[in-house]
């Protein structure tokens, strides 16, 4: 499992409104132990309609991705924006869940990442139909940072499922 944090460069934000820095990546995570409900988060698993034709494809900030959006991991790993693609076209990732952290203060990077891992691993099983540790698919997630928590009121954890090979459609109910 890999993670990323939304990052805002404060100095650039002063010069260019809403400027974002590159998202940092994490390493492989645990085997899924510790799955449980987080007392400091509320969840949303609702699907949102993704673009339905090439003309509807659009580039968005990672602050604006939503469940149901299809994209490619190359955007996630290298940029601050993603091109949302029609889920009927080839892609290798999709946003499958999100939750809002309800802590009064930023809990720290490790605590935010632990909440994201717990939530995304738990939501994964409901979405795909098998538990993460028994699946061929990977999880990537975004969490707030101290900077985005304070500067953008960012509380969102976004969960992304991805495959190493492109696919069409959705991985919801894939049972793999």
The answer to whether position 157 is within a domain reads yes
* pLDDT tens digits along 144-173: 999 999 999 999 999 999 999 999 999 999
For tokens 């990537």, the residue is: 140
Across the range 43-56, mean pLDDT stands at 44
The answer to whether position 94 is within a domain reads yes
* pLDDT tens digits along 88-103: 999 999 999 999 999 9
Number of domains present in the structure of the chain: 1
E strands of the chain, at which residues? 2-5, 24-25, 41-44, 58-61, 70-71, 81-84, 91-101, 138-143, 156-167
The answer to whether position 173 is within a domain reads no
The answer to whether position 119 is within a domain reads yes
What pTM value is reported for the model?
Answer: 0.70
Domain of residue 40: give its range. Answer: 2-167
């Amino acid at each position: 499992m890999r993670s990323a944090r939304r990052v805002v460069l404060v100095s650039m934000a002063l010069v260019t409104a809403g400027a974002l820095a590159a998202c940092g990546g994490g390493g492989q995570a645990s085997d899924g132990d510790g799955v449980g409900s987080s007392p400091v988060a509320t969840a949303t698993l609702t699907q949102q309609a993704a673009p339905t034709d090439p003309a509807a494809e659009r580039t968005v900030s990672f602050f604006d991705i939503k469940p149901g959006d299809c994209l490619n991991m190359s955007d996630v790993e290298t940029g601050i924006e993603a091109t949302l693609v029609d889920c009927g076209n080839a892609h290798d990732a999709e946003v499958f869940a999100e939750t809002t952290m309800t802590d009064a203060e930023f809990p720290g990077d490790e605590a935010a990442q632990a909440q994201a891992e717990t939530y995304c691993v738990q939501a994964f099983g409901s979405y795909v139909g098998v538990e993460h540790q028994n699946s061929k698919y990977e999880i990537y997630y975004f969490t707030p940072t101290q900077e985005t928590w304070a500067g953008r009121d960012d509380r969102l954890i976004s969960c992304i499922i991805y495959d190493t090979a492109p696919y069409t459609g959705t991985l919801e109910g894939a049972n793999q």
